[in-house]
């Protein structure tokens, strides 16, 4: 409902004052994703449209949450890094229409490269906190088979002529090699060992049935092969060994350290999440899987973009009144193993810390750029449900051209959760550790 403007007058001739507006709690209700595929002609989504992948996710969210009337959705925000072709034309709006949502439901597109879906979540969550929305859908898609990263881009020549950015910074693999240069303690053997652990953790999570509940089956058709229903991720390579990775080529630098084995691949996939105000979730009988505590974005040198999660995390922790020791679970996007290890080293966290990427990460499962942020959230929400001893968790990622993003979440299954909602400051941030005595 629109509020009267301060300049408007009552019939009495006196000016009205703007109604006070309280910031509302934002909760993560549900999240789904398609199985991720390998980009290219042999990948499972070759010949499949990107927007159709998003539609699958939106429809699955509605199916899984039958108490939500479609007309109660206030916004659909969908991210894509390459916004052209089947990822263009304001994909948030077109996907909403294609999914059968009422025409009264608006939508928009968003681009922050790898953090597209994460930005879709934080942007619409801010709208919920402000009171503009009650319920939203936010997600992302990247069909790197249809749209290779950087295809059709036309960087301004000033980037080179004025040396605003080193030309190598436009290639993400080169920036990962630069991180190795900056942090020589992060050796190739460490990154390979981390990558093998990611593969093993994902395989174990699949074996325990922890990945499958949030996957949307996608039927695809290829000439001469007929229809296939895809229900699992295509990129994982279970059984990968350190010896296997040691033999791989280093495509970005002769005798380098970054390989196809210790970096995320080129992938296709889509994600979508349902967010709501805490009041709307209660009214509509929607589940609450996480509460948004704080978020932050930060810029860094494009030449070492992988370090971006460090300042973003420091800002998000400060905004929340928390310290790194309060974070009981980390979901860090594994664009490159060196990028994750630089984050862990900065905060004094061991490579094999059990709080980090319990279900594995993008090195194993894939990284369809703008979609990955919601995958991190799905996995964190699943871990919150399984481990009520953890109060706070984090989703964080590096972003091309030198940025980082971090979102901090609270576990509704933790014993202090209800207390937090009643005692949280007016800004909507979490109580500090000294206020609650809690340390996840």
Helix axes 337-346, 188-207, angle to 10 degrees: 100
**Which positions are annotated as active-site residues?**
114, 367, 398
Encode burial over 45-55: b for 16+ CB neighbours within 10 A, e otherwise: bbebbbbbbbb
Query: ∠93-272-288 over CA atoms, to 5°?
Result: 120
H-helix or E-strand spanning residue 257:
none
Query: ∠321-327-330 over CA atoms, to 5°?
Result: 130
What is the Cα 205 distance to its own chain's centre? 19
Indicate the burial class of 370 (C-beta count within 10 angstroms; 0-12, 13-18, 19 or more): buried
Cα 229 to Cα 40, 123, 216, 217, 310: the distances in Å are 18, 33, 10, 6, 40
Indicate the burial class of 174 (C-beta count within 10 angstroms; 0-12, 13-18, 19 or more): middle
Integer Cα distance of 326 and 431 in angstroms: 11
Integer Cα distance of 364 and 12 in angstroms: 67
Assigned token pair, 181:
């240069």
Integer Cα distance of 376 and 105 in angstroms: 26
Indicate the burial class of 363 (C-beta count within 10 angstroms; 0-12, 13-18, 19 or more): buried
Integer Cα distance of 76 and 72 in angstroms: 12
H-helix or E-strand spanning residue 344:
helix 337-346
Integer Cα distance of 39 and 45 in angstroms: 8
Integer Cα distance of 104 and 206 in angstroms: 39
Contact call for residues 317 and 381 (beta carbons, < 8 A): no
Count of CB atoms within 10 A of residue 369's CB?
A: 31
Q: Which residue has the tokens 């605003």?
A: 164
The residue among 265, 264, 270, 267 whose CA lies nearest residue 218 is 270
DSSP label at residue 14: P
């Amino acid at each position: 409902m629109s509020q009267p403007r301060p300049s408007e007058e009552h019939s009495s001739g006196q000016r009205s004052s703007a109604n006070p507006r309280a910031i509302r709690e934002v909760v993560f209700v549900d999240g789904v994703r398609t199985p991720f595929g390998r980009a290219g002609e042999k990948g499972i989504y070759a010949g499949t449209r990107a927007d159709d992948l998003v539609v699958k996710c939106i429809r699955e969210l509605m199916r899984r949450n039958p108490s939500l009337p479609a007309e109660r959705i206030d916004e659909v925000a969908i991210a894509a890094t390459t916004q052209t072709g089947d990822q263009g034309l304001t994909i948030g709006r077109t996907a909403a229409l294609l999914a059968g949502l009422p025409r009264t439901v608006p939508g928009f597109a968003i681009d922050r490269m790898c953090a597209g879906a994460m930005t879709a979540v934080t942007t619409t969550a801010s709208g919920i906190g402000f009171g503009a929305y009650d319920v939203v859908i936010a997600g992302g898609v990247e069909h790197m088979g249809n749209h290779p990263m950087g295809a059709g881009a036309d960087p301004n020549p000033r980037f080179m002529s004025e040396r605003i950015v080193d030309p190598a910074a436009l290639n993400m693999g080169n920036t990962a090699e630069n991180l190795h240069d900056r942090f020589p303690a992060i050796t190739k053997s460490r990154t390979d060992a981390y990558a093998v652990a990611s593969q093993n953790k994902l395989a174990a999570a699949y074996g325990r049935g922890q990945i499958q509940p949030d996957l949307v089956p996608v039927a695809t058709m290829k000439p001469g092969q007929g229809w296939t229903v895809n229900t699992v991720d295509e990129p994982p390579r279970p059984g990968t060994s350190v010896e296997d990775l040691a033999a791989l080529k280093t495509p970005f630098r002769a005798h380098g350290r970054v390989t196809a084995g210790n970096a995320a691949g080129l992938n296709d996939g889509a994600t979508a999440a349902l967010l709501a105000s805490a009041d709307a979730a209660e009214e509509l009988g929607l589940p609450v899987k996480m509460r948004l505590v704080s978020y932050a974005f930060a810029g860094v040198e494009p030449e070492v973009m992988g370090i971006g999660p460090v300042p973003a995390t420091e800002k998000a922790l400060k905004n929340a009144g928390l310290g790194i020791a309060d974070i009981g679970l980390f979901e860090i996007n594994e664009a490159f193993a060196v990028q994750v290890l630089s984050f862990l080293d900065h905060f004094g966290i061991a490579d094999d810390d059990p709080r980090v990427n319990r279900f594995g990460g993008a090195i194993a499962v894939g990284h369809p750029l703008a979609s990955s942020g919601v995958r991190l959230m799905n996995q964190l929400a699943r871990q919150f449900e399984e481990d009520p001893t953890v109060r706070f968790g984090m989703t964080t990622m590096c972003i091309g051209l030198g940025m980082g993003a971090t979102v901090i979440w609270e576990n509704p299954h933790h014993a202090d959760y209800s207390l937090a909602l009643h005692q949280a400051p007016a800004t909507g941030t979490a109580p500090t550790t000294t206020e609650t005595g809690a340390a996840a």
